[in-house]
Structure 1
Amino acid sequence: MEYFGRFSVGTLVTCRLTPLAISVLALLRERPMHPYEMYQLLVEREETRIVKVRPGSLYHAVERLASDELVVATGTEREGNRPERTTYELTDRGRAALRARIQELLAEPVNEFPIFPVALAESHNLTRDEVLEALARRRAGLEASVTELTDLLEVARRLEVAEAYWFQLDYLRAITTTELDWISRLITRIDSKDLTWPTP
């Protein structure tokens, strides 16, 4: 195995695995399938809550994985007048890369630089009323998300789906609820003038 500095070729591949690439490899670990089927499953399973998925980007991700020899095309099929669909399966290299990347992401906290803290840091450029109005809209969206996630969790429990397949939804609900509580307290403080607001 070739090495570049302290990183092996395998390590370099795992570092390039995007969230969408991880999802593709995980689907192919279940069984061989074509990209359109992958897209349908990601949408059906509500994976779009944790991974940004568009058909074009998914096809591109599969092509990249194939060029890195993490997946391999196993054949094509055609149904009626639909275009040919290429079926892919996971390689041993892909299976190892998937496992290594998941272990890395679980173990090492990463600052992903979300955009919301930037908006908070620069919100003093708006008037107090503009900030209150924007935060109220955000709070409503968060409340809707908590309700949706709670409903999904109830469905999973009712269907007796093993918790290991859906506990990421519980995590999303927990962090969304935490943000909702924080935003609500911030709105109260700004509205009551406990938090003094500067003039833009």
Structure 2
Amino acid sequence: MKLTPLAVSVLSLLGQRPMHPYEMYSVMLERHEDALVKVRPGSLYHAVERLERDGLVKSLGTDRPTGRPERTVYEATLEGHEALLDWVRSGLRQWQPEFPQFPLALALANNLPADTVVGLLEEYLHSLDLEVAEMEEAVAEVKRRELPEAFWIENDYLLAVRQAERAWIAATIERLTTGELPWHKKHQF
């Protein structure tokens, strides 16, 4: 069975302690895991149901706190823990292709005039600058709190990737602006 990133995140959380799905959702948002995994309440509940169907998590029972809806608490099974570890080993072992939108937009940018591309890349660069500043602040905060780096290493990685992306985009804008990167619209529409 192929696990989705959301299912793997659920297994990881349930490996720490039993939880109900709403608690999982809250913890993921608190830890900013939504920057790594697309987290929506509906998809989270669906992922938990699939994991239970596949025997990777099991229900420990249902409770109903006063004034609250009924909540089912889950824990990871031994099979679930092994599936999580297998997924992590595979992810760390070799590069896996991903299909983000930005590289495709770059591949198709030759359909636009160079000055339009420069303007759009400048907007992208601005939004990237805001994200980098936010990530730098988050890394500084965990360092101040002296949290072990093993628990936030992905933030350091993502920051390095965004900084490299920022440098590349700034250089590309410069190359387009100076004409070092010749630009020809591919199509006339």
TM-score tier, shorter chain, comes to: over 0.9
- Report the 3-state secondary structure (helix = DSSP H, G, I; strand = E; otherwise coil) of the residue aligned with 2:155: helix
Q: Distance in 1 between matches of 2:32 and 2:99?
A: 24
- Report the 3-state secondary structure (helix = DSSP H, G, I; strand = E; otherwise coil) of the residue aligned with 2:60: strand
After TM superposition, give the deviation of residue 81 of structure 1 in Å: 2.5
* Mapping for residues 8-157 of structure 1, pairs under 5 Å: 13=1, 16-157=2-143
- Report the 3-state secondary structure (helix = DSSP H, G, I; strand = E; otherwise coil) of the residue aligned with 2:80: helix
Which runs of 5 or more residues in structure 1 are unaligned? 1-12
Q: Distance in 2 between matches of 1:106 and 1:99?
A: 11
Q: Structure 1 segments of 4 or more deviating over 4 A?
A: none
After TM superposition, give the deviation of residue 90 of structure 1 in Å: 0.7
After TM superposition, give the deviation of residue 78 of structure 1 in Å: 1.1
After TM superposition, give the deviation of residue 112 of structure 1 in Å: 1.2
Q: Distance in 2 between matches of 1:184 and 1:48?
A: 27
Q: Distance in 2 between matches of 1:57 and 1:36?
A: 12
Q: Distance in 2 between matches of 1:45 and 1:117?
A: 27
Q: Distance in 2 between matches of 1:59 and 1:85?
A: 11
Q: Are 2:169 and 1:188 equivalent residues in the alignment?
A: no
- Report the 3-state secondary structure (helix = DSSP H, G, I; strand = E; otherwise coil) of the residue aligned with 1:122: helix
After TM superposition, give the deviation of residue 134 of structure 1 in Å: 0.8
How many residues matched? 186
Across the aligned residues of Structure 1 and Structure 2, the Cα RMSD in angstroms comes to: 0.9
Which runs of 5 or more residues in structure 2 are unaligned? none
Task: String of CA shifts for 1:113-141, please: whole Å, max 9, x gaps.
Answer: 22211111110101112101110011011
Q: Distance in 2 between matches of 1:107 and 1:169?
A: 19
Q: Amino acid of the residue matched to residue 198 of structure 1?
A: H
TM-score by length of 1: 0.91
